[in-house]
Amino acid sequence: MIDVCIIGGGFSAVPLARELERTGADFRIVSEAGDTVWDRLNASGRLDFDLVSSTLTSFYSFDLATTFREDLYPTATAFHAMQQRWRREFSDRTVRDLVVRVENFEDHSVVCTRSGETFKARHVVFCTGFKRAVMGDLASVDYSVTNRTFLFDTMGDSANLIISKLVPNNNRIIVRTNGFFPIDKAYFRPRGMLPALFALDQLEFHNFRYMSNERYGSILYGGTYADGRNPILLYDHFPAAVRDGSHVTSRSRPPNGTVVVKYWPIDQYRQRFGADLEAAIAQGYLLNDIAMWLHTGRVILAPKDAPVDFDRQTITCAGVERRFDHYVRGGPEEPRLPPVLIGGVTPWRYRYRDNFMGVVPRDLNNVYLIGYTRPSSGGLANITEMQGLLVHKLITRPDFRRRVAGRLDDRIAAYDAHYYGTAEPREHYDHLVHYGFYTDDIARLIGVDHRPDQCRTLRDLVFYYAFPNDAFKYRLRGEYAVDGMGDLIRRVNEHYLGFLMMFAYLLDGSLLAPEERGVWLRTARRTFINDMRPKEAHRPFLDRYVEAYRRVTNARVDDTTDDEWEAMARRAGADRDRAVRDTRAPDRFRFDEDIGREMGRLTPLLDADVGALVGGGAGGLDEPRREFLASLLDPPEYDLPYLRP
């Protein structure tokens, strides 16, 4: 009998395999050759794009320690190469076979393969990933077609990638949707600072949720949801993009299950890649600004109940019955799990909410799941790395395993109540989490977390609240420490100016009432998310980009004008036109001025003792700021029932 059988040898298996090897466990990986999504995209020549997660959320901490130079968005080619390298690293532990059945018993499992070989293991870990119909479309759509109409019945990052390859060739896109949450991938440093990129998934100040989940959501999203008209933001231009959130009753903001689409905003894309568009496109850095496609009428949104006649290939929307040439259905993500039999007899059914944190199944013994929890916005590497540490501790520390399993039902109920409230299960979305909440939950569970009451200086508070909850934050010390983490954190802090800008944003935003905060955010030179003001001025650049894309891809394009489509686009853009008319430039950019002033106030105090700052003995801070700092040391919503011993 072996200690551990890992089923699936892709990206998600790497952190656990590394820890098992480090601690001398007897393990095997059973995985069919060339069976990952990335293998299939590589085989079809479709690794020509960049990821929606930044470098710091796409690669593991033990790689970043030696490779991190700049936090951009890695290309799919680089990401696949990393997976191949780790696959070679564990090749002597890997059996190339397909698992067709797992029989789970009280103290072991039997893993059955297609070849007939079986493995008896004390622990089984599934790392097989997801299957989804849209991934087949990603690998098979003919991107050379031109002047066609595509109907998408799905909207996510993969669908947006397909759209980004179709739009430059004068194809028209209709997205039938019940709403989605688009957010920018990047935010550039404000004027007067070096022109380096900030990846938006690093600006989420995750631990501020412990002060107030409600306030966290309000400050993080800053009015980007439909909480009143704001003519500078996308939802006011295109209300059909608003997703109904009336089902949300959870304490957490955002809740699990939030659907996010990340895109390069055209102004930020131009600043980063405009000097050499053809080189950027050839590397895989594609403009996928869904907000710009909507603004220019290249994409039209239709309600999910818009009538579709599949026999005639027509959809009725924007006042027209429009024929479509191609249909992209999409569909939910479904785990690629083999049949699992409880006691070798009773079929087990996977439901995300029946597994503690998506990892520990309620009804199976010594079986764990890694990689079936996905980030809403970015951070898959951080999630799977922390899951790997959790599973490693469950396998190697019987006392810890007993502690978690002893209250498993209570933990699952408390976790689900916090992140889903009373909402009915939504099996297609329940596995989507806010990555920095999830990583800190695991860090606290396994005892490698940082704590607010341990903060001694203002710099400590900035690190705890504003530094993102990437996996390497938890590998500075303790049983899962990795060499080089201190230097990596130093380099990340240098890139992001010590995250002081975000801490200043939290401080200033917290001193304002919610209604004042919304007005204040409108005085920003550029909002963090979905700012529509730069779009119109960038139409000439969009034309440049389209021409460059066609040259790189050797496209032959039919640029015939489509009068019917133009009429549909004008009708679909009625709210956009109203919002543009309502947009007024602020008298001054108060938001930027306030943040700059706050950073100047805080910078010389970073190494000051927090107690002295709070007590008024140092720093000269006014009472509201001293009270804010004091509250950070003992946040009121820190206790989480599902993490209690």
Give 541-578 pLDDT, tens digit per residue. Answer: 999 999 999 999 999 999 999 999 999 999 999 999 99
| Average of per-residue pLDDT across 390-418 | 97
Regarding predicted confidence, which is higher, 332 or 251?
251
Q: How far apart are CA 437 and CA 425, in angstroms?
A: 20
Q: How far apart are CA 290 and CA 292, in angstroms?
A: 5
In the predicted structure, residue 228 carries a pLDDT above the cut 60 = no
Regarding predicted confidence, which is higher, 242 or 4?
4
User: At 516, is the pLDDT very low, low, confident or very high (cuts 50, 70, 90)?
Assistant: confident
pLDDT by residue (tens digit) across 62-109? 999 999 998 989 999 999 999 999 999 999 999 999 999 999 999 999
| Average of per-residue pLDDT across 477-505 | 96
- The pair phi, psi for residue 449, each rounded to 5°, is -80, 165
In the predicted structure, residue 226 carries a pLDDT above the cut 50 = no
CB of 462 closer than 8 Å to CB of 367:
no
Position of tokens 């179709």? Answer: 166
In the predicted structure, residue 452 carries a pLDDT above the cut 60 = yes
In the predicted structure, residue 129 carries a pLDDT above the cut 60 = yes
| Average of per-residue pLDDT across 390-405 | 97
In this predicted structure, what is the pLDDT of residue 36? Answer: 82
User: At 225, is the pLDDT very low, low, confident or very high (cuts 50, 70, 90)?
Assistant: very low
Across 365-369, 513-517, 608-612, least confident range: 513-517
390, 512, 365: which is closest to 446 by C-alpha? 390
In the predicted structure, residue 193 carries a pLDDT above the cut 70 = no
Regarding predicted confidence, which is higher, 202 or 331?
202
- Neighbouring C-alpha atoms within 13 Å toward the C-beta of 573: 18
In this structure, the dihedral spanned by the alpha carbons of residues 607, 512, 505 and 603, taken in order and rounded to 10 degrees, is -30
Regarding predicted confidence, which is higher, 262 or 196?
262
In the predicted structure, residue 194 carries a pLDDT above the cut 90 = no
Q: How far, in Å, are 12, 522, 531, 576 from residue 231 at the CA level?
A: 42, 9, 9, 9
Q: If you compute the radius of gyration of the chain from its CA atoms, what whole number of angstroms results?
A: 25
Count other C-beta atoms under 10 Å from residue 207's C-beta.
26
Q: How far apart are CA 227 and CA 225, in angstroms?
A: 6
Helix (H, G, I), strand (E, B) or coil at 400: helix
The two tokens of residue 114 are: 């297609």
The two tokens of residue 269 are: 């894309």
36, 128, 45, 127: which is closest to 82 by C-alpha? 36
In this predicted structure, what is the pLDDT of residue 280? Answer: 98
In this predicted structure, what is the pLDDT of residue 197? Answer: 79
291, 324, 294: which is closest to 307 by C-alpha? 324
The two tokens of residue 251 are: 């304490």
What is the C-alpha end-to-end distance of the chain, expressed in Å?
32
CB of 402 closer than 8 Å to CB of 349:
no
In the predicted structure, residue 227 carries a pLDDT above the cut 60 = no
Which DSSP string do the residues of 507-575 spell out, in sequence order?
HHHHTS-HHHHHHHHTTSSS-SS-B-TTTGGGHHHHHHHHHHHHHHHT--------HHHHHHHHHHTHH
Per-domain residue ranges of the chain: 2-130+334-452, 134-332+512-582
- Neighbouring C-alpha atoms within 13 Å toward the C-beta of 197: 23
User: At 224, is the pLDDT very low, low, confident or very high (cuts 50, 70, 90)?
Assistant: low
In the predicted structure, residue 189 carries a pLDDT above the cut 90 = no
Q: How far apart are CA 625 and CA 620, in angstroms?
A: 10
| Average of per-residue pLDDT across 630-639 | 98
Average pLDDT, the chain: 93
Q: How far, in Å, are 255, 421, 443, 558 from residue 450 at the CA level?
A: 23, 27, 8, 58
pLDDT by residue (tens digit) across 157-171? 999 999 999 999 999
CB of 185 closer than 8 Å to CB of 200:
yes
In the predicted structure, residue 238 carries a pLDDT above the cut 50 = yes
109, 15, 5, 107: which is closest to 401 by C-alpha? 107
Residues 6+ apart with CB under 8 A from 503: 205, 461, 462, 465, 466, 602
- The pair phi, psi for residue 585, each rounded to 5°, is -70, 140
In the predicted structure, residue 318 carries a pLDDT above the cut 90 = no
Residues 6+ apart with CB under 8 A from 506: 205, 208, 219, 465, 466
- Give the CATH fold of the 2-130+334-452 domain: FAD/NAD(P)-binding domain (3.50.50)
- The pair phi, psi for residue 314, each rounded to 5°, is -135, 155
